[in-house]
Amino acid sequence: MKSGKVIIFCAPSGSGKTTIVKHLLKTDERLMFSVSACTRKQREGEVNGKDYYFLSQEDFKNKIANNEFLEFEEVYGGNFYGTLKSEMERIWQLDKVVLFDVDVIGGLNLKNYFGENALAVFVKPPSVEALEERLRFRSTETEETLKMRVGKAVMELAYEDKFERVILNDQLPKALGEAEILVQSFINT
């Protein structure tokens, strides 16, 4: 019943998609998080295999050559991010719905790959200024990476109309409720 379905939450960095995804994982046992692979440095508190699969550039490029990714892209000056086919298969074997937390381009690629078996949701920040403030609050960015992320976010916001479902994350409780309803409706059909 659930096998073969995927739910994709995508948004510019700082929009709140990860907060929404974590909430959904706590409230719906039918969902399982798809851990992405990346080549960026592991941040304090992150766990390999839980937050990301942290790979060297060489390992990542070997997996690209071996066609092991559903989608991947190079972002933020040489860092690669991608979705491993093996991760999706692992989750489906557990009879769970795959829940993705990806950037906008990755979300579009996954949406196109899975077609009607996917629910693709775009999480929109209230404004670019609010998004920048959220990124600053994280304290994980240098001024240079912050400018890069905000610049990329401005570009990504232009893709909103490519998604059937958009959640405006201006009030977190409201956004969480909307996400729950969308997910339940999709899984139950």
What pLDDT score does 188 carry?
92
Q: Is the pLDDT of residue 2 over 60?
A: no
More confident residue, 12 or 20: 20
What pLDDT score does 3 carry?
62
- At 36-65, the pLDDT tens digits run 999 999 988 999 999 899 999 999 999 999
Question: Taking the model in full, what pTM does it have?
Answer: 0.85
Lowest mean pLDDT among 14-23, 38-47, 139-148: 139-148
What pLDDT score does 115 carry?
93
Q: Is the pLDDT of residue 34 over 90?
A: yes
Q: For the chain, what is the domain count?
A: 1
| Three-class secondary structure of residue 167 per DSSP | strand
How sure is the predictor about 1, in pLDDT bands with cuts at 50, 70 and 90?
Answer: very low
Q: What is the CATH number of the domain that holds 163?
A: 3.40.50.300
Please report, to the nearest 10 degrees, the dihedral formed by the alpha carbons of residues 177, 5, 86, 77 taken in order. -50
Report the alpha-carbon distance of residue 34 to residue 189 in Å, rounded: 21
Nearest Cα to Cα of residue 102 among 4, 7, 27, 2? 7
Domain membership flag for residue 164 = yes
- Percent of the chain beyond pLDDT 90? 66
Domain membership flag for residue 94 = yes
Domain membership flag for residue 1 = no
Domain membership flag for residue 55 = yes
Look over the chain and give the mean of its residue pLDDT values, rounded to a whole number.
90
What pLDDT score does 4 carry?
87
- Is the Cβ–Cβ distance between 86 and 68 less than 8 Å? yes
| Three-class secondary structure of residue 9 per DSSP | strand
- Is the Cβ–Cβ distance between 151 and 143 less than 8 Å? no
Q: Is the pLDDT of residue 138 over 80?
A: no
How far, CA to CA in Å, does 9 sit from each of 17, 45, 103, 139, 149?
A: 6, 23, 8, 23, 18
Average pLDDT value for residue range 154-169? 91
Backbone dihedral angles phi then psi of residue 63, each to the nearest 5 degrees: -70, -35
Domain membership flag for residue 86 = yes
What pLDDT score does 160 carry?
93
Average pLDDT value for residue range 101-124? 92
Please calculate the CA angle 12-18-20 and round it to the nearest 5 degrees: 110
What pLDDT score does 39 carry?
96
Range of the domain at 110: 6-188
Nearest Cα to Cα of residue 185 among 107, 119, 89? 119
The DSSP code sequence of 64-125 is HHTT-EEEEEEETTTEEEEEEHHHHHHHHHTT-EEEEEE-HHHHHHHHHHHGGGEEEEEEE-
Domain membership flag for residue 49 = yes
Domain membership flag for residue 26 = yes
Domain membership flag for residue 83 = yes
Average pLDDT value for residue range 82-92? 94
Lowest mean pLDDT among 6-15, 81-90, 97-106, 143-152: 143-152
